[in-house]
Amino acid sequence: MPLKELLEHLEQLANASLPLWPVPAGARARLINVSENATYLVEAEGFRSILRIHRPAYHTRRGIGQELAWSQALAADGMVQTPPPISGVNGELVQEGHAPGLPEPRFMVMFAFAHGRQPDENEDLTAPFERLGAIAARTHLHSQTWAKPDPLERLVWDADAVFGPKANWGNWRDAPNVTPEIRDVLEACEALVCRRLAAFGKGPERYGLVHADMRLANLLIEGDATTLIDFDDCGLGWFLYDFATGISFMEDHPQVPALRRAWVKGYRSVRPLSDEEESEIDTFVMLRRMALLAWIGSHIEAPEPQAMGPHFARNTAKLARDYLARFR
């Protein structure tokens, strides 16, 4: 279904579903973002909330509940500042709705509105990244001790999840403008990333439950406080993957080396990080960058991938050449 038509149906679903939650009469939902999910700002006089309509076949109802359980536990234990989900009138956090024109029902979650502004990649992000490093470290400490649901129905963010036959976001080779020359460079990069990740290992001090999407779009800054939102991609992965997600789509920005130093400083203020681990950060940056290339290819109807599509493969290949020159 074309994206424009899909969004028309989802807007109908969003507004028709508002009575599932205790929102004021007359509230309306307005689309503010479309990525994996469609996100709406719900407004009425004196009231604001956020409604997330889930992409089908991405998470189970149980899996979404596990995401909410972890984010609420992190907030309750003082590890992060994140907006709470709002229970429906039936007491459930995860609701389900269907609208004419949609081939399947959709899961939905409503969140309290969080104040703050999304940071911009062209402002000085050194201080926010130092805070983000500390936030990431706290989530990792928490993930090591939190009693995870069994079975854990969350995504995995390892090499097979990015490069394997059932990759979460598809095959990066299908992304726009992956020329034969670029493909050769990226295949060499993929092989090196996989070798280094295998050597790095998945020990419990390095691998566990991670947010997996700490990019600028999921940060709200107000003064010195940072609110972390959108745990939708949380799952099992390497802890250092969270730094790589923090510089998503801006891996080649001139201030990234400074952001890396700031993030590491903040991280080490909370949790140990060895020099060996720090030296492997570039591997996780390339893992994430190639995952994003695949994401662009599999989400090309959305505005953000369309805007980045013309140049993303070429710039990814440049990053890959630099990585190969350092580590091969």
Q: What does the pLDDT average to over 291-301?
A: 95
Q: What CATH class is the domain 3-112?
A: alpha beta
Cβ partners under 8 Å of residue 205, min gap 6: none
**184: how many CB neighbours lie within 10 A of its CB?**
11
Report the CATH fold assignment for 126-327: Aminoglycoside 3'-phosphotransferase; Chain: A, domain 2 (3.90.1200)
pLDDT of residue 187: 98
Beta pairing class for 207-210 and 219-222: unpaired
Rounded mean pLDDT of 251-266? 98
Residue 1 has pLDDT above 90, yes or no: no
Residue 40 to residues 89, 110, 135, 144, 228: CA-CA distances in angstroms? Answer: 19, 9, 26, 33, 18
Region 134-144: mean pLDDT is 98
Peptide bond into 149 cis (omega under 30): no
Confidence class for position 36, pLDDT limits 50, 70, 90: confident
Q: Reply yes or no on whether the pLDDT at 29 is more than 90.
A: yes
Provide the pLDDT for residue 3. Answer: 86
Residues in the chain: 328
Mean of the pLDDT values across residues 142-165?
97
Cβ count within 10 A of residue 325: 8
Query: Could you give the CA distance from residue 238 to residue 201 in angstroms, rounded to a whole number?
Result: 9
Q: DSSP secondary structure string, 135-198? A: HHHHHHHHHHHS---SS---EEESHHHHHSTT-TT--GGGSTT--HHHHHHHHHHHHHHHHHHH
Task: Give residue 228's region: left, alpha or beta (phi > 0; psi -120 to 50).
Answer: beta
CA dihedral 271, 274, 278, 280 (to 10 degrees): -120
320 or 35: whose pLDDT is higher? 320
**Per-residue pLDDT for 201 more than 90?**
yes
The model's pTM is 0.96
Average pLDDT along the chain: 97
Q: What is the pLDDT of residue 302?
A: 86
Portions of the chain given CATH number 3.30.200.20: 3-112
Which pLDDT band, with edges at 50, 70 and 90, does 35 fall under? confident
Q: What is the mean pLDDT of residues 124-136?
A: 98
pLDDT at residue number 40? 98
Q: What is the mean pLDDT of residues 98-126?
A: 95
- pLDDT band at residue 159 under the 50/70/90 scheme: very high
CB-based contacts of 10: which residues, under 8 Å, 6+ apart? 31, 38, 53, 99, 102, 106
Range list for CATH 3.90.1200.10 in the chain = 126-327
Q: Residue 269's pLDDT is what? A: 98
Separation CA 264–CA 13 (nearest Å)? 43
- CA nearest to 219, candidates 113, 78, 119, 130: 119
Is residue 119 within 8 Å of residue 125, measured between CB atoms? yes
Rounded distance between C-alpha atoms, residue 284 and residue 292, angstroms: 12
pLDDT grade for 276, boundaries at 50, 70 and 90: very high
**pLDDT tens per residue, range 161-197:** 999 999 999 999 999 999 999 999 999 999 999 999 9
